[in-house]
């Protein structure tokens, strides 16, 4: 394949995504899989990577830039944490090299907030923030990155000043699949299209202290009021949790950049609307690729068009 | 066995407890097991019950009074819900009979709060409330029944006026056993003895809207600050959740009767203390037995001493 500058990989807990990028950072080919950290032993990562590179016909000399959980203690190689306040233009300087693979492979650091009163870590999202600050030029903004572990980051002067994590997606999954609420939860629907989603968001914003007390209504409502209420259960659970997340970060919700894709983006856009929060939206994958391309361009400048 | 009035059974989601009661309601023998609703098919209940009755040498004519999930739709026989406001002195009148077992077996109803804005149900706790109101004579009180699903009930004029449910115990279990927090959670310890428990309770009471955002610190704290913080993880998780439950019911926390036993009682007593809530404490099993004995005395008065 012509003009391949690098292979860029977003390696999460439950997903693997690889793109071949050209000399301007544009994607030429991609591979997606579910071989995330949770499914892999350290010795598996090299095989998964080389299989994807072969599938995309990547040149033998193409270097690889990786972000995400591949750099966790339980991942491929432990990449360090980069401390706050974080100037992401030098994030790549602390990347961890993976030796013995016959090509140049680097794993980007995560970020650590070493505040004893609000300790926090991220792996993967720093690369989206790199895309937002360096590739998109964002200087002052709250960035909301919804997901299994939603991250809310404050960008000040182009640096990551602080961030917080809400386990919204993980708790939704646990309650939807493994709890006494599960019986009434239908996971296929697009929750944000259901009016119960908006009203549940509003309930959580109105009484954010009442989350633990409201969740059980997702079960007791259908038990007492039947099928019509049961159909709203997934939307209601999602709305209660996302509303609660927004309430938790309300002090930081001025002028938000929402970084998400698909159904998740729709749900958060709707919820931020209910909360009356002004926001712009940008696709998460676009930012991931631009963050990876930026870091790769600093490590291997000769492979990119300046 | 002499003087057995009835067999009294508390049949929960994950536990089975049977007591033989004498003619004054005092326990003569008991059997405990983990054959709760979650582990049983409808056809299993009769076998579990008869095995326990045989083990305690119960007379062939002893009737059986049951409360709890045996009366749920997924239980043994569906017992109805009793509506609010609930005069529990007549709860037994809506008990469900189990036929064909060769003895008189009744399952007590649960309670339903048919309020579309706060739908709620309970099965089992109504019997503790029966013990509190009829056997203990409580007329005006908030009763806190901690557990997998904690219940907070308002007793007014001796009747159950309203109640709410917090899924505190279930969410603790899911997060402690099946989440990204699990790695640092040591379940054997007595959490309320750890100073991190009290400070986490206080954190949740101070900023009750921030629950979803604080939970992740149970993981990120140990990741960044090591073993000392890791040892506090279970206490911290429990404290954040129990503090959040108390915050959710804060408007109802005047003059609370805490109904619990063992470690759970210790944890809630400590947390109510941190919250500055005045409370008395009573053992949950004592109330369950007195509630079952009261209902049995109304159904089979000839078997009890008046």
Query: What does the pLDDT look like over B199-245, one tens digit per residue?
Result: 999 999 999 999 999 999 999 999 999 888 888 999 999 999 999 99
Residue to test with chain A: of B220, B242, B253, most A Cβ within 10 A: B220
| CB < 8 Å to A248, chain B | 209-213
CB-nearest to B212 from A221, A223, A245 is A245
* Residue-wise pLDDT tens digits, A197-251: 999 999 999 999 999 999 999 999 999 998 888 889 999 999 999 999 999 998 8
Among B140, B4, B123, CA closest to B61 = B4
Please report the residues numbered 45 through 74 in chain B whose beta carbons come closer than 8 angstroms to any beta carbon of chain A.
none
Closest CA to A141 of A264, A25, A241, A281: A281
Chain B within 8 Å of A227 (Cβ-Cβ)?
no
- List Cα–Cα distances, B132 to A177, B122, B138, B170, in angstroms: 36, 16, 6, 25
Domain B166-282 CATH (choose: 3.90.550.10, 3.90.1150.10, 3.30.420.310, 1.10.600.10): 3.30.420.310
pLDDT of residue A164: 98
Q: What is the pLDDT of residues A88-105, one digit of tens each?
A: 999 999 999 999 999 999
Cβ contacts of A81 on chain B, cutoff 8 Å: 224
Please give the interface size between A and B, counted as residue pairs whose CB atoms are below 8 Å apart: 129
pLDDT in tens, A3-24: 899 999 999 988 999 999 999 9
- Contact residues, B window 80-119, toward A, CB-based 8 Å cutoff: 81, 112-114, 116, 118-119
Q: Which of B243, B245, B253, B150 is nearest to B192 (CA)?
A: B243
| DSSP conformational letter for B132 | I
Q: What is the distance in angstroms between the Cα of B14 and the nearest Cα belonging to chain A?
A: 12
pLDDT at B188 over 80: no
Nearest chain A residue to B206 by CA: give it: A209
pLDDT on residue A253: 77
User: pLDDT value at position A189?
Assistant: 73
Percent of chain A with pLDDT over 90: 88
Query: Rounded to whole angstroms, how far apart are CA atoms A224 and A207?
Result: 23
The interface residues of chain B toward chain A in range 13-32, judged by CB-CB distance below 8 A, are 13
pLDDT bracket for residue B176 (50, 70, 90)? very high
Q: Which of B149, B213, B218 has the most A C-beta neighbours within 10 Å, making it the best mutation to test the interface with A? A: B213
pLDDT at B1 over 70: no
Q: Quick one: pLDDT at residue A254?
A: 80
Pick from B144, B185, B210 the residue to mutate for testing the A interface (most A CBs within 10 Å): B210
Q: Which of A171, A212, A248 sits opposite B210 (nearest CB)?
A: A248
3-state secondary structure of B160: strand
Please say whether the beta carbons of B164 and B250 come within 8 A: no
* CA–CA separation, A285 and A113 (whole Å): 24
CA-based nearest residue to B163, from B188, B193, B132, B206: B132
Give residue A1's pLDDT: 58
Q: How confident is the model at residue B289 (pLDDT cuts 50, 70, 90)?
A: very high
CA dihedral A297→A30→A189→B38, nearest 10 degrees, is -90
Give the closest of A209, A216, A247 to B167, CB-based.
A216
The predicted structure's pLDDT at residue B232: 92
DSSP string, B61-130: T--EEEEEGGGSTTSSS-PPEEESSB-GGGGGGGPEEE-SSSS-EEE--EEEE--TTS-EEESSHHHHHH
For B236-283, the pLDDT digits (tens) are 999 999 999 999 998 887 889 999 989 999 999 999 999 999 999 999
B-chain residue closest to A183, CA distance: B74
How far lies A264's CA from each of A135, A258, A284, in Å?
23, 10, 11
Q: Any chain B CB within 8 A of the CB of A230? A: no
What is the arithmetic mean of pLDDT over A286-296? 96
Chain-centre distance for alpha carbon B283: 11
Give the confidence band of A2 by pLDDT, cuts at 50, 70, 90: low
A224, B110, B121 from A227: Cα distances, Å:
10, 21, 17
- Put simply, the answer to whether A179 touches B180 (Cβ < 8 Å) is no
A78 in contact with chain B, both atoms CB, cutoff 8 A:
no
- Measure the CA–CA gap between B102 and B38, rounded to whole angstroms: 26
Is B209's Cβ below 8 Å from some Cβ in A? yes
Query: Higher confidence at residue A267 or residue B183?
Result: A267
Spatial strand order in the sheet of B120-122? B81-83, B110-113, B120-122
Q: Does A264 touch chain B (CB under 8 A)?
A: no
**pLDDT value of position A230:** 84
pLDDT at B190: 84
Q: What is the C-alpha to C-alpha distance for residues A262 and A76, in angstroms, rounded to an integer?
A: 29
Q: CA of A104, closest CA in chain B: separation in Å?
A: 29
Is the pLDDT confidence value at A287 over 80?
Answer: yes
CA–CA distance, A39 with A279 (Å, rounded to integer): 35
Other Cβ atoms less than 10 A from the Cβ of B283: the count is: 13
Check residue B253 and give its pLDDT.
77
Q: Is B248 on the interface with A (CB under 8 A)?
A: yes
Q: Output the pLDDT for position A297.
A: 97
Is residue A163 over pLDDT 90? Answer: yes
Q: What is the DSSP letter of A204?
A: H
3-state secondary structure of A12: coil
- Measured between beta carbons, the chain B residues lying within 8 angstroms of A166 are 212-213, 216
What mean pLDDT is predicted for residues B31-40?
95
Provide the residue ranges of all domains of chain B, joining segments of one domain with +.
Answer: 4-124+289-303, 166-282
Residue B170: which of B71, B282, B60, B38 has the closest Cα? Answer: B38
Asked whether the beta carbons of B13 and B69 are under 8 A apart, the reply is yes
Cβ-proximal residues to B36 (8 Å cutoff; 6+ apart), any chain? B11, B12, B13, B14, B15, B16, B69
The answer to whether the bond into B136 is cis (omega within 30° of 0) is no
pLDDT in tens, B10-26: 999 889 999 999 999 99
Mutate to test the interface with B, among A167, A200, A236 (most CBs of B within 10 A): A167
List the helix and strand counts (H, then E) for chain B: 10, 14
Higher pLDDT, B185 or A67: A67
CB A267 within 8 A of CB A147: no
* All residues at 6 or more sequence positions from B249 whose CB lies less than 8 Å from its CB, including other chains: A213, B142, B144, B152, B164, B166
CB-based contact B174 A178, cutoff 8 Å: yes
> Is the Cβ–Cβ distance between A142 and A162 less than 8 Å?
no
Give the residue from chain A lying closest to B223, CA to CA.
Answer: A121
* B116-173 tens-digit pLDDT: 999 999 999 999 999 999 989 999 999 999 999 999 999 999 999 999 999 999 999 9
Give yes or no for residue A69 having a pLDDT over 80: yes
- Whether B4-124+289-303 shares its CATH topology with B166-282 is answered yes
CA distance A139 to A74: 33
Secondary structure (3-state) at A277? coil
How many other C-beta atoms lie within 10 A of the C-beta of residue B256? 22
Closest partner residue to B167 (CB to CB) among A116, A209, A212 is: A212
**Chain B residues close to A121, C-beta within 8 Å:** 220, 223-224
Note the pLDDT of residue A255.
85
The percentage of chain B sitting over the pLDDT mark of 90, rounded to a whole number, equals: 88
Asked: is B4-124+289-303 a CATH 3.40.50.150 domain? The reply is no
| Of the partner residues B121, B215, B224, the one whose CB lies closest to the CB of residue A167 | B215
Cβ neighbours of B41 (radius 10 Å): 9
Distance of alpha carbon B60 from alpha carbon B263, whole angstroms? 37
Which pLDDT does position A215 carry in this prediction? 97
Q: Is the CB of residue B247 less than 8 Å away from at least one CB of chain A? A: yes
Whether residue B166 and residue A213 make contact (CB cut-off 8 A), yes or no, is yes
Q: Is A57 left (phi over 0), alpha (psi -120 to 50) or beta?
A: left
Phi, psi of A30 (to 5 degrees): -145, 155
Span A44-48, average pLDDT: 97
Tens-place pLDDT, residues B76-108: 999 999 999 999 999 999 999 999 999 999 999
Task: Test A212 with B180 for CB contact under 8 angstroms.
Answer: no
Q: Of B127, B118, B94, B163, nearest to B10 (Cα)?
A: B127
């Amino acid at each position: 394949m012509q003009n391949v500058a690098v292979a860029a990989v977003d390696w999460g807990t439950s997903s693997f995504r690889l793109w071949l990028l050209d000399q301007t950072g544009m994607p030429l080919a991609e591979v997606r899989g579910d071989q995330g950290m949770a499914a892999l032993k350290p010795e598996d990562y090299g095989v998964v990577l080389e299989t994807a590179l072969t599938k995309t016909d990547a040149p033998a000399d193409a270097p690889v830039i990786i972000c995400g959980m591949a750099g966790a203690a339980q991942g491929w190689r432990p990449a360090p944490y980069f401390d706050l306040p974080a100037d992401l233009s030098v994030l790549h300087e602390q990347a961890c090299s993976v030796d013995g693979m016959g090509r140049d492979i680097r794993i980007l650091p995560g970020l650590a907030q070493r505040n004893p009163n609000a300790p926090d870590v991220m792996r993967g999202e720093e690369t989206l923030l790199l895309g937002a600050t360096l590739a998109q030029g964002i200087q002052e903004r709250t960035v909301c990155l919804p997901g299994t572990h939603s991250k809310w980051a404050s960008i000040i002067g182009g640096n990551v000043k602080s961030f917080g994590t809400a386990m919204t997606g993980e708790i939704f999954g646990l309650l939807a699949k493994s709890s006494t609420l599960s019986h009434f939860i239908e996971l296929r629907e697009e929750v944000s299209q259901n009016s119960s989603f908006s009203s549940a968001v509003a309930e959580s914003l109105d009484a954010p202290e009442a989350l633990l007390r409201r969740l059980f209504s997702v079960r007791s409502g259908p038990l007492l009021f039947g099928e019509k209420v049961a159909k709203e259960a997934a939307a209601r659970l999602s709305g209660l949790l996302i509303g609660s997340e927004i309430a938790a970060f309300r002090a930081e919700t001025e002028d938000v950049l929402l970084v998400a894709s698909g159904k998740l983006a729709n749900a958060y856009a709707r919820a931020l609307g209910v909360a009356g929060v002004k926001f712009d939206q940008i696709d998460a994958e676009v930012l991931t690729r631009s963050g990876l391309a930026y870091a790769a361009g600093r490590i291997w400048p000769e492979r990119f068009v300046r």
